[in-house]
């Protein structure tokens, strides 16, 4: 497939967006039974040390937390484990409320452009050097530098940083070029806003090569230095400022095959694994009901999977067709029949538990009779008896293009196509690898597709920003921008106002525009899962369940 230069550049930037959007879906791989280095050891307290084996699908090329395709060509690097090595200034607590992490307190200027953070005292990096405001300032300033051409792919905040200044040893100011309502939520993202030792940044703020072999964070763990492309061991950070975790060390081994990961867990070669794209509903149910193993599902929704329409295609430009298709989908059957009840039916584009998303919206219930009636009344008729409706000589037929991702994804697409046949709409499934899929979507070579929001702390602000076509790398969601009252001006306003009431009002407008026009059809909200053996007593999912937080694993006593 030939692509012009503009499309190639958009694809490169899109990869950064997709990397952040699929965090939750790519955890796991396989591991062999690896005992703690040197055999049986004890922790510093004299108790038997706890060592766990986990899986991943690729190796780690760098331990610097700003991860892009430029420095992680083989996969997603350490993205999913960053919260075990690095801390951010702020985070969300177990109640879902914003809380300090490295920052004990913070304030915002009246114009919304300056954020002042007071750092914890006595915190040290894993190399023993003390955390200072200079480290925080340089870490923040380094984000857009190291994102390079991917700046903006992980959210708007990195594009509006004007300066970061250390006011004293433990006070740092973040200066923005404009107010941004999601600043604190964006700062919760370890990729790219984790705080690192500024001694490991060059004068131009690029990351030193030292990050290839050492993690320089303030989190509970650090890289042990034994990586060979097949396995990597991580040990407790002796200088960690927080509560000591149950797990003393862990090894991640690299095996790509998903079935092998589950088999390795069964055979005792793995102790813990997490990731909904790698764990089928069958595997989840099997391990949940097998003696000696446990399984957990996060209660909070992580991402929204949705049906996206090519609104430039004359067939799907008609709202009645989209509404009929939405009514033809039994979402409950998808959740229960395909995903075994792990996930949750989605009736609104964003889960209403997300910031600004608790808005009353139009929903579309499963009703095949209504779907057929809508098309009948609009003049879509099967004239030749082949089961496919026509209008003005054009059949209601198109390609259903989707990413090659998982067996469950394939099953869902097949199910959807079967449902649409029941209302006289013929969709032909066509799967493709991520970048090939993106080229087809960008080129308009599809009728419908299935995609997902970015998830975690990226939602909802990053998706809303992506509705602006001039800034967006998302060819599906950007279509919504053209339906908004006052167009992209509304997106620009929400991204620069300090008026909370106005932000809520704009979100209500945006969400109702999506729902009332049936621009996308939400299918289900994903829920993160974890599987483990009897060495693990349980797991507390972090606020952003995209990450695997080893410190949240509870070891069996």
Least confident interval from 134-138, 223-227, 240-244, 355-359: 223-227
- Containing H/E element for 174? strand 171-176
Are 70 and 86 in contact, with CB atoms under 8 Å apart?
no
Going by C-alpha positions, the residue among 541, 548, 533 that lies closest to residue 270 is: 533
pTM tops 0.85: yes
Distance CA 154, CA 151 (A): 7
Per-residue pLDDT, 206 = 97
pLDDT tens track for 119-138? 999 999 999 999 999 999 99
H helices then E strands: how many in the chain?
Answer: 15, 23
Longest dimension (CA), the chain: 80
**Residue 519, phi then psi, degrees to nearest 5:** -70, -35
Interval 309-316 mean pLDDT: 96
Interval 360-364 mean pLDDT: 97
* Mean pLDDT over the full length of the chain: 89
- Which three-class secondary structure state does DSSP give residue 410? helix
CA angle 130, 135, 140 (to 5 degrees): 150
Comparing 440 with 433, the larger pLDDT belongs to 440
Per-residue pLDDT, 216 = 96
Interval 463-472 mean pLDDT: 86
In sequence order, what are the beta bridge partners of 394? Answer: 391
pLDDT tens track for 8-44? 445 544 544 444 443 333 332 233 333 333 333 555 5
Per-residue pLDDT, 46 = 59
pLDDT tens track for 243-288? 999 999 999 999 888 889 999 999 999 999 987 766 778 888 899 9
Interval 35-58 mean pLDDT: 68
Interval 376-397 mean pLDDT: 96
pLDDT tens track for 88-125? 999 999 888 999 999 999 999 999 999 999 999 999 99
pLDDT tens track for 522-535? 999 999 999 999 99
């Amino acid at each position: 497939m030939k692509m012009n230069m503009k499309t190639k550049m958009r694809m490169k930037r899109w990869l950064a967006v997709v990397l952040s959007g699929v965090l939750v879906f790519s955890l796991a791989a396989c591991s062999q039974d690896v005992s703690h280095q040197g055999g049986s050891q004890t922790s510093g307290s004299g108790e038997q040390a706890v060592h766990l084996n986990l899986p991943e699908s690729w190796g780690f090329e760098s331990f610097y937390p700003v991860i892009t395709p430029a420095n992680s060509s083989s996969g997603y690097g350490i993205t999913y484990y960053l919260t075990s090595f690095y801390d951010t200034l702020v985070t969300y607590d177990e109640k879902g409320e914003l809380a300090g992490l490295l920052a004990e307190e913070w304030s915002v200027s009246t114009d919304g452009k300056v954020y002042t953070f007071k750092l914890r005292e006595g915190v040290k990096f894993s190399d023993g050097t003390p955390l200072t405001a200079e480290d925080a300032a340089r870490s923040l300033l380094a984000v857009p530098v190291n994102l390079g051409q991917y700046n903006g792919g992980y959210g708007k905040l990195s594009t509006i940083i004007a300066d970061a200044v250390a006011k004293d040893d433990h006070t740092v100011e973040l200066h923005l070029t404009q107010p941004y309502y999601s600043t604190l939520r964006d700062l919760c993202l370890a990729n790219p806003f984790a705080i690192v030792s500024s001694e490991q940044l060059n004068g131009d703020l690029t990351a030193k090569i030292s990050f290839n072999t050492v993690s320089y964070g303030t989190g509970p763990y650090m890289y042990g230095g034994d990586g060979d492309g097949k396995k990597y061991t991580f040990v407790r950070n002796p200088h960690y400022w927080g509560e000591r975790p149950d797990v003393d060390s862990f090894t991640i081994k690299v095996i790509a095959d998903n079935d092998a990961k589950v088999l390795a867990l069964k055979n005792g070669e793995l102790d813990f694994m997490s990731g909904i794209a790698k764990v089928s509903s069958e595997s989840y149910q099997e391990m949940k009901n097998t003696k000696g193993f446990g399984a957990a599902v996060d209660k909070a929704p992580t991402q929204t999977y949705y049906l996206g329409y090519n609104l430039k295609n004359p067939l799907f430009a008609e709202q009645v067709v989209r509404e009929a298709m939405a009514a033809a989908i039994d979402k409950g059957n998808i959740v229960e029949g395909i995903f075994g009840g792990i996930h949750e039916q989605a009736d609104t584009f964003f889960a209403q538990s997300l910031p600004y998303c608790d808005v009353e919206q139009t929903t579309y219930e499963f009703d095949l009779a209504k779907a057929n009636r809508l098309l009948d009344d609009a003049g879509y008729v099967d004239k030749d008896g082949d089961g496919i409706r026509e209008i003005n000589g054009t059949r209601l037929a198109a390609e259903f293009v989707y990413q090659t991702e998982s067996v469950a994804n394939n099953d869902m697409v097949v199910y959807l196509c079967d449902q649409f046949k029941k209302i006289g709409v013929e969709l032909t499934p066509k799967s493709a690898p991520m970048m090939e899929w993106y080229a087809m979507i960008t080129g308009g070579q599809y009728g419908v597709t299935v995609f997902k929001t970015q998830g975690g702390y990226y939602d909802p602000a990053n998706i809303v920003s992506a509705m602006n076509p001039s800034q967006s790398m998302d060819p599906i969601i950007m279509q919504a921008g053209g339906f908004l009252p006052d167009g992209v001006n509304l997106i620009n306003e929400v991204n620069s106002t300090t008026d909370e009431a106005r932000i809520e009002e704009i979100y209500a407008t945006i969400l109702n525009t999506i729902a009332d026009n049936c621009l996308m059809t939400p299918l289900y909200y994903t829920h993160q899962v974890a599987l483990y053996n009897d060495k693990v007593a349980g797991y507390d999912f972090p606020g952003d369940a995209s990450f695997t937080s080893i410190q949240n694993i509870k070891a069996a006593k």
